[in-house]
Structure 1
Amino acid sequence: MVGGSHTQDSIATRALNLAPDSTGANNLSATVAIIDGYPVIKHPPGGPYPVIVPCQGLRLVVNGRERKEPTPVTVEDKVEILPVDERQEGYWRVKVSGNKLEVLLQMQPGVIRRRRLKDLPPAQVLQLETMEQESFYTPFTLEDLVRELKSQGIQYGIDWQACARLAEAPAEGTWTIARGQPALPGKDATVVLLFTTQDKVPVTIKEEEQNVNFRERFQFTSVEPGTVLARKHPVTKGQPGRAVTGEIILPPEPREIGLVALQGAILSENGLEVVAARAGRPVARKTKDRVIIEVIPALCHGGNVDLTSGNITFSGDVIIAGQVEEGMAIEAGGNVYVGDTISRAMVRAGGSIEVAGNVFVSVLAAGGTTAFQQRLSPLLARIADDLERLIAAIKQLLRHPSLKKDDLKGGIGPLVLLLMEKKFQDLASTVELLQKEAQRLPSIPLGAPEGLINDLEYLARSPLAIKRMGYLEAMLKKVTTWREDIGATPQVEADVTINYAVNSTIVATGNIKVVGDGCYHSRLQAGKSVTINGVFRGGELQAQGDIYIRELGSRSGTETRVVTRAGARVTAGHVFENTSIQIGPRLHSFNQEERGVSLWLDREGEIIKHYFTTPVL
């Protein structure tokens, strides 16, 4: 029987109804069929007998014994085929978000698989088959969910409608069943500057001024007394929120910023405005929590800078109407403007330098000495590395058992000499390069610790004379300190704009522009780009950016050198022989005169040379 609901007599009756009459009994085949969910068996007397093959999800029980292998059956056997239902438990979890503003319900519904025996036609070997029907159920009740919310302390922002719906309608997924109230942040205080932060702005040349030789002119930024320089917008407080657990969520404190007025400026009574108290150039400095405003006065000198006036040192801008004569110096914390010629003099400025006349045998340094110091940094790094390894090697040799202390009665000089000859040959040449760089600008302080360059020169020239390890260690400390000081110096982009220069040194942390006839036998060094409308003939030009020159070198073959970093481009309208251009590590020398050429490095680091016909400048 099947499922215990039919008797053996009824099964026999079904078999009799299916069997042929007695005249064909010997021809009766052995088969078994499933009809209306029950087995119907027939076979000749004495066999052969049909075979039932069980399957997963059904229990085949013959004469009270469960069979899991193919089993022959007869009409006398009690055959039961019992479907096996399967229940798969579901899963659910309530989770509070990290910021306590959401409660998430994760649910995997439970599954009930109900099976039914499939009707099958007669076969001698019958493979049983099932039909399945799945139904889903929620793994929790609404009461279970309420208890879980309470156990986790969730009490605010609960969506009870969503909770009830999910408890009744099983589905796989994640749902938000509670939401807190986020805190509303306030607004940080801000300061708006009401003046341009550029040191100078271009001045439009009027039609009647088209023949002026100084073609690129600028006007320094300045203000009059009473000008509002900055305005502060105070903080706006936020609003608190509430977590799903009921706690109050405080908004982050908005960032306060102080508005500070220094020399030449006044802070208003309510602390929200800074007003100029005198004429001058407005300057703003921003720190982490303050904006500092001041008005730097301008020193205006109506005549020449000569023995009568003396050298000029001023913390703000300096404006010279006349010349800067031989042997004189100008040092300014701000910008410098010279209306005439500079001859055999020195001008140093914390800001930009603009010279309307020509520059002869002079030194101009804009933006402090940062641009020049940065050039020294790689040399100092190499020297520090060599010194550190030299000291370590000496200490290792001193601990070696084969070393006789009597050999070093006069000091460690023999070890220093041996190591510098065998292992540290480059140290002396690097020191020599550093010394040459320092000698190029003798009038500009480089920030080197006292006596360091002389000590390094002494080491390179007379290593045998070194007596103590402490001397080398002190030297290494000075080199490291100098290099760190250079790295910590803030980079101020300051430009130099001149008309013409001869036998001069021009250094700028920003751009250098030569707008007149050009430069002869001079040294230029720029932290950014260099533009020369005329010629650059003799000397050396170094830059960190692109270089544009109308005419480079000379017909007489005067040695001229141009250097810039990898990634920059050098463009020249006319190049003479005995001129070299170095871009990054690659050097290109011109052996013949060429026109309209532009050079740069490709991705493989090789120099690309491109020719053009249209004017570049």
Structure 2
Amino acid sequence: MIIDKKILELITELSDNKENNTPYNNQTENFRSQISLKEKNNFMSPCEQDTEILGDGYAYIKSGKIYVTNPKGNNSYAVIAPCEGISLWVNGELLTDSKPVKESDTILAVPDKKVIPPQYAVEVSADKLSAKLIIKLGETITYSLIDQEPQRYLRLKAAADKKLEPLIDKDQIWKLIMENNIIYGIKTDVLDDLITNPKNFEGIIAEGIPPGPGRDEYVNINFTLNSENKPICGPDGNVDYKNLSNTSYVEQGYIMATKTEGFIGTPGKSITGEIISPPIPKAVTLKAGKGVDITDNIVIAQKPGKPSVDQIGSTYIFYIQDKLIHQGNVDLSSGNLRFKGSIEITGSVQEGMSVFAADDIFIHGLVSEANITSIKSITVLKNVVRSNLLAGGISLNIKKFAKNLQKLKEILTEAILFTKKLLLNNEIKESGVKPGYVLLLIIEKKFNFIPRLINKILEYIEVNRLYSTYDFESLSFKLKKYLPAPDTSNKNVLNDIEGLIKDIDLAVDYINHLEQNDADIIIEGALNSSIEANRNVIISGNGCFNSHVKARGDVKISGVFRGGSIYSNGNIVLNEVGSQYGVKTSIIMGNKATLSIRKAYENIIIKTETKTHVITVPQKYFSAKVDTGGQLNIISGIPVEES
């Protein structure tokens, strides 16, 4: 037949074409897929027959060979396209895209073979205590052509046969180890096993020795912390005024605390051979306040009383709190009370009087038109009327005092640095002038306002007596001793001033620490008053009227809250808010605050930083919370009709 003759001619042409450097010269018959019309007649499928009926050309793959049938009449030719893993040649042209084909075309589909080399990597940890080896074995991928049914558009498909190459280059791994300067802790046994039994691997190939653990200094405190002489508040918010919580008490000679010394750990060694120094243990400092002595890291009570400690950073200040029991009322006959300890008043605090304590204040009677300030908590068993209560806070005067101390610290630091620079001058060195004299001249010429600043600080300590647990009297003594005129004959004057700077810094930290005290206010009721606590406010009696309540923590009012305002960052739990006459009452919710009201009247204003909500109709079981971002989320509320 004519077609058979054509095929034979093509075969001869391919055999004679020795100068053309194409796959025709170097591929065996196993990689060829040529058109064979005789074989095509034997493989005619139903799909092929359907395509012939339509009249378009088609192509298909059978037993790894490509077959093409021309279209009938003016219909479309078959189109074939290459795929990954198969090199498709048509009439000697390597195809990169689809192309129409016909029966007379010479088509070769040559399966590819890819060889992927092995991959090695060594990763050293940031602390240089370990190194990880990563091995990915090489592989050979052999592709083969997949049979497909007849179709007008035929895109080749290839099957990939992957085979791992079980061979690891030991020299390449050692080269990577050396390039990363790894000389210690190499796991040669792991490497030898990988060479013997090649496999994909990711694991530790070198390991150093970490520093041995040391121990930080720490303080063992032998008394109960935060023990307060105040009523017990139950989970329901009710307060038991008869049974007070126990107060810690010690006798003279009691060991209040001990400091355990730390120690440094053993050195380690990195995989690169360096010695790794262990971390320096954290140190703590013990300081003795009033009524306390410290010997050989042992804190001993020098008198009976309530033990207390203030922790400021890594410094622990221990002291014995005195307690002042004032019999009767605080009035004009007794005068105002100021005490460096706790105060218990058996009567009331009357009009125009003030009470200040560095510890808790406990008042059995009522407070009327008075000012009550405590560094810690305040408890009033009866009502508070037209008065100001502040628990845990500090006055503006103390804040101003702290600013003056901070300013003095900064100036003295600068003066010391300036003095040291001048002492490096050759002329001053040769003159033999003393450091104290240089410092004195610097204060007089460059920092001549230091004496006025020191006088302000000393005056505040003297006049206000700064009733607190911190030993400001000792600071006053050192200020008078070393300044404003340094001792020019003292060789260690610069060291003494630097020690004074540390004392000033600690005093400033202490004052700032006062603002963070966990202090509560617990009272029976309030009228036309200001109530502010660093932690919680609990009003357990009939309620709070036309008053302003502020708490960093929770606010709980068992009775009525009517008129005035509440500000809280915690849980606000109220029984009844407002009145049927629409008395304006505000509740300001800080970040993360929640609100729960058993019964709320109209004209209650609820505020956050970003939103204001007004309760316009009476409701019961109203609740809300502040979401992330300061958004107010109204959770529930049931409108009720007032009779």
TM-score bucket (shorter structure): 0.5 to 0.7
What is the CA–CA distance in structure 1 between the aligned matches of 2:382 and 2:562, rounded to whole Å? Answer: 19
Of 271, 274, 282, which residue of structure 2 is paired with 1:247?
274
Q: Distance in 2 between matches of 1:259 and 1:489?
A: 19
**CA offsets per residue over residues 12-53 of structure 1, 9 Å max, x none?**
xxxxxxxxxxxxxx9997799xxxxxxxxxx7xx99858679
Determine the C-alpha separation between the residues in 1 that align with 2:24 and 2:122.
35
CA contact (8 A) 2:344 2:362 kept: yes
Partner amino acid, structure 1, of 2:194: L
Q: CA deviation at 1:353?
A: 0.7
Residues 225-284 of structure 1: CA distance to partner in whole angstroms, max 9, x if unpaired? Answer: 344333333324322222233332222222222233322222242x1x323333333332
Alpha-carbon distance between aligned partners in 1 of 2:380 and 2:354, rounded to the nearest angstrom = 14
Q: Which amino acid aligns with 2:259?
A: K
Whole-angstrom distance in 1 between the partners of 2:190 and 2:277? 28
Contact 1:203 1:219 in 2 (8 A): no
CA distance in 2, matches of 1:130, 1:538: 83
1:241-390 equivalence runs, <5 A: 241-269=268-296, 271=297, 273-368=298-393
AA partner of residue 572 (structure 2): I
Distance 1:149 1:509 in 2: 60
Q: CA deviation at 1:197?
A: 2.9
- 1:140 maps to what in 2? 169
Q: Structure 1 residues 300 and 89, CA, compared in 2 at 3 Å: closer, same or farther?
A: same
Contact 1:518 1:534 in 2 (8 A): yes
> CA 1:160–1:282 in 2, change beyond 3 Å: closer, same or farther?
same
Choose which of 569, 582, 586 in structure 1 pairs with 2:606: 582
Separation in 1 of the partners of 2:517 and 2:283?
A: 27
Equivalent residue, structure 2, for 1:515: 540
For 1:191, the equivalent position in structure 2 comes to 219
1:59 aligned residue (17, 26, 29): 26
8 Å contact 1:198–1:221 — kept in the other structure?
no
Change (3 A) 1:520 1:216: farther
Question: SS of the counterpart of 2:280?
Answer: coil
Specify which of 554, 568, 575 is matched with residue 550 of structure 1.
575
Structure 1 distance, partners of 2:244, 2:368, is 21
Cα deviation per residue 1:118-173 (whole Å; 9 max; x = unaligned)?
A: xxxxxxxxxxx99999673646345x666765676544323333333334544444
Of residues 249, 255, 265, the one that matches 1:238 is: 265
Equivalent residue in structure 2 for 1:159, among 187, 208, 223: 187
Rounded Cα–Cα distance in structure 2 between residues aligned with 1:85 and 1:542: 77
Deviation, 1:298, is: 1.8
Quick one: structure 1 residues 179 and 30, their matched pair in 2 at CA, closer, same or farther if it must change by over 3 Å? Answer: farther
Q: Distance in 1 between matches of 2:619 and 2:242?
A: 25
1:4 — aligned with what?
none
Q: Is the 8 A contact 1:370 1:491 kept in 2?
A: no
Match of 2:637 among 605, 610, 613: 610
Change (3 A) 1:612 1:356: farther
Higher deviation after alignment, 602-611 or 276-285: 602-611
Provide, for residues 72-104 of structure 1, a one-character-per-residue CA deviation record: whole Å limited to 9, x for no partner.
xxxxxxxxxxx9998765454555444333344
User: Which residue among 554, 564, 578 is the counterpart of 1:529?
Assistant: 554
What RMSD over aligned residues (CA atoms) do the two structures have, in Å? Answer: 4.8
Match of 2:586 in 1: 562
Q: What is the CA-CA distance between 1:299 and the residue it aligns to?
A: 1.9
- Does the 8 A contact of 1:586 with 1:606 survive in 2? no
How many residues are matched?
425
Shift of 1:354: 0.6
**Residue 53 (structure 2) aligns with:** none
1:282 maps to a residue whose letter is P
Give the distance between the partners of 1:583 and 1:243, measured in 2 at CA. Answer: 58
Cα distance between partner residues in 2 of 1:323 and 1:55: 113
CA drift of 1:220 comes to 5.0
Query: Partner letter of residue 237 of structure 1?
Result: I
Q: Give the % identical residues.
A: 27
Look at both structures and tell me which one has the larger radius of gyration over its CA atoms: 1
Inter-CA distance 57–490: structure 2 relative to 1 (3 Å threshold)? farther
Q: Secondary structure at the match of 1:200?
A: coil
| 8 Å Cα contact 2:119-2:137 kept in structure 1 | yes
The answer on whether the counterparts of 1:563 and 1:583 sit within 8 Å (CA) in structure 2 is yes
Is the 1:30–1:49 Cα contact (8 Å) retained in structure 2? no
Within 5 A, what are the aligned runs for 1:458-469? none
Give the Å deviation of 1:181.
1.9
Deviation digits for residues 403-433 of structure 1, max 9, x if unmatched? xxxxxxxxxxxxxxxxxxxxxxxxxxxxxxx
Deviation of 1:177 after TM superposition, in Å, equals 3.1
Contact kept, 8 Å, 1:600 with 1:608, in 2: the verdict is yes
| Whole-Å separation in 2 of the counterparts to 1:212 and 1:133 | 79
Cα offset, 1:529, TM superposition: 2.6
Partner residue in 1 for 2:406:
none
Residues 1:161 and 1:548: Cα distance change in structure 2 (over 3 Å): closer
Given that 1:546 and 1:564 are in contact with CA atoms closer than 8 Å, whether structure 2 keeps it comes out as: no
Q: Which residue of 2 aligns with 1:395?
A: none
- Kept in 1: contact 2:220–2:258 (CA 8 A): yes
Distance change (3 Å), C-alpha of 1:321 and 1:176:
same
Q: Give matches, 1:26-45, under 5 Å.
A: none
Residue 193 of structure 2: SS of its match in structure 1? helix
Alignment match, 1:475: none
Alpha-carbon distance, 1:312 to partner: 1.0
Which residue identity does 1:581 align to in structure 2? Answer: I
SS of 1:284 mapped into structure 2: strand
CA 1:307–1:288 in structure 2 vs 1: closer, same or farther (change >3 Å)?
Answer: closer
What do the CA deviations read for 1:306-356 (whole angstroms, capped 9, x no partner)?
Answer: 223211112221111222222221111221111222222221111111112
Letter in 2 for 1:241: G
Match of 2:407 in 1: none
Return the alpha-carbon distance in structure 2 between the equivalents of residues 248 and 331 of structure 1.
Answer: 58
Q: Distance in 2 between matches of 1:572 and 1:27?
A: 102
**Corresponding position of 2:155:** none
The more displaced of 598-607 and 100-109 is: 598-607
Secondary structure at the aligned position of 2:328 is classed as coil
SS of structure 2 residue aligned to 1:100: coil
Aligned to 2:42: none
What is the aligned partner in structure 1 of residue 521 from structure 2? 496
Alignment equivalent of 1:598, drawn from 611, 622, 643:
622
CA contact (8 A) 2:228 2:360 kept: no
| 2:252 corresponds to | 225
Q: Give me the TM-score of the superposition, normalised by structure 2.
A: 0.55
Query: Aligned ranges for residues 361-440 of structure 1 at < 5 Å?
Result: 361-368=386-393
Equivalent residue of 2:344, what SS?
strand
Give the whole-Å Cα distance in 2 for the aligned partners of 1:346 and 1:276. 33
Q: TM-score, normalised by structure 1?
A: 0.57
Matched with 1:468 is none
Q: Secondary structure at the match of 1:357?
A: strand
**Equivalents in 1 of 2:337, 2:273: separation in Å?**
70
Separation of aligned partners in 2, 1:496 and 1:564: 19
Give the corresponding residue for 2:439. Answer: none
Letter in 2 for 1:185: P
Aligned to 2:483: none
Structure 1 counterpart SS, 2:26: strand
Give the 3-state SS of the residue equivalent to 1:356 in structure 2. strand
Contact kept in structure 2, 1:314 and 1:331, CA below 8 Å? yes
Report the alpha carbon displacement of residue 512 of structure 1 after superposing the two structures with TM. 1.8
Please give the secondary structure, in 2, of the residue aligned with 1:297. strand
- 8 A contact 2:230–2:379 mirrored in 1: no
1:174 to 1:262, Cα distance in 2 relative to 1, 3 A: same
